[in-house]
A and B are shown apart, each in its own frame.
Chain A
Amino acid sequence: MAASIRQEIQQHIEQVGYLQPAVHQPVHAPFPDEISHDFYRALLRSDHDVGGQPDVPIPWQEKEEEQWELNTYVTCEVLAWRGVWNAEERRRRMNADLGQTQYLGHPYYGRWLISAARVMVDKQHATLNELIDKIDEVKARYESGA
């Protein structure tokens, strides 16, 4: 019995490797009777759980930090300091809630940032329209060279 769970797990890991970033199948929103247990499991998995997935050697790189990345890290920690969220909620939001495509598509600190924006709206600290207007305002400011 234990052996078949391990087999299922091994298959599952192999399978999810084929899911990123989109599901390549001819029909989207399939009928429920067309969903296998394996596929259901793959759809509901936590995206951050990547240990053991196949991948190829890449050059190991360092990276010079952007000012916005440092600011983002600080914003996220200060939001926790002041009680808006905790670090585990941040991880859930940026590593599981975003969905597979955004999870692998954004830069690392892009996910931190988007999740900070999202928690403010989710917890009604700002409305989405306030956030949208603020983004607009900042964009215009940068474009005018201010």
Chain B
Amino acid sequence: MSMHHVEKITGVGDPQCFEGEAGKPRFKEGDRVRIKDRPDIFYTRCQMFTRGAIGEVAVVTHESVPPEDEAWENEQAPAEWFYIVRFRMQDLWGDYPSTYPNDTLQTEFSERWLEPA
């Protein structure tokens, strides 16, 4: 974690320690967004099954260094806003039974994975 990061979060918490670092969030609750299918290499926390799908921002959560950078201890990398995005199951899976049209799934993305839909 590097002792620098440990010092930063002691008594403060993580992700609280990143508050104010990412400026203004690009998206807000209710925005329709599409998940970008960025190149796969080495590591990601953007699940394959969400790539290219369109959903709605359910919650604007917090600011943090994104996991792809934090995973190499690049805690000095810029922080981004994170968002919980909600999808209809029907939009994620071609074979989801139409008997349940309102079933949803939501999961969290850093801002760089989202584009307006």
Instruction: Pick from B2, B44, B53, B73: contact of A6, CB below 8 A.
Output: B53
- Nearest chain A CB to B61's CB is how many angstroms away? 16
Q: Which residue of A lies closest to B107 (CB)?
A: A51
Q: Which residue of B lies closest to A123 (CB)?
A: B73
Instruction: Pick from B43, B52, B72: contact of A2, CB below 8 A.
Output: B52
Contact between chains at A52 and B3 (CB < 8 Å): no
Within 8 A of A (CB), among B42-93: 42-44, 47-49, 51-54, 67, 70-73, 75, 92-93
Instruction: Pick from A9, A46, A51, A81: contact of B43, CB below 8 A.
Output: A46
Contact between chains at B6 and A81 (CB < 8 Å): yes
**Contact flag A49-B37 (CB < 8 Å), given A10-B94, A88-B71:** no
A12: chain B residues within 8 A (beta carbon): 48
The number of residues on chain B lying at the interface, defined by a beta carbon within 8 Å of a beta carbon of chain A, is 28
Chain A interface residue number, banded = 20 to 34
A139 CB-CB contact with B under 8 Å = no
Q: Which residue of A lies closest to B39 (CB)?
A: A44
Interface SS of B by simple majority: loop
B41: chain A residues within 8 A (beta carbon): 44
For the complex, what is the distance from the CA of A80 to the CA of B10, rounded to whole Å? 13
A89 CB-CB contact with B under 8 Å = yes
For the complex, what is the distance from the CA of A83 to the CA of B10, rounded to whole Å? 12
Q: Which residue of A lies closest to B66 (CB)?
A: A88
B5 CB-CB contact with A under 8 Å = yes
Contact between chains at B1 and A45 (CB < 8 Å): no
**Contact flag A86-B73 (CB < 8 Å), given A5-B37, A46-B43, A46-B44:** yes
For the complex, what is the distance from the CA of A26 to the CA of B5, rounded to whole Å? 48
- Nearest chain B CB to A38's CB is how many angstroms away? 12
Contact between chains at B51 and A9 (CB < 8 Å): yes
For the complex, what is the distance from the CA of A46 to the CA of B51, rounded to whole Å? 14
Contact between chains at A89 and B2 (CB < 8 Å): no
**Contact flag A51-B72 (CB < 8 Å), given A41-B40, A96-B43:** no
Interface residues of A (CB under 8 A from B): 2, 5-6, 8-10, 12-13, 41, 44-46, 49, 51-52, 80-86, 88-89, 91-92, 96
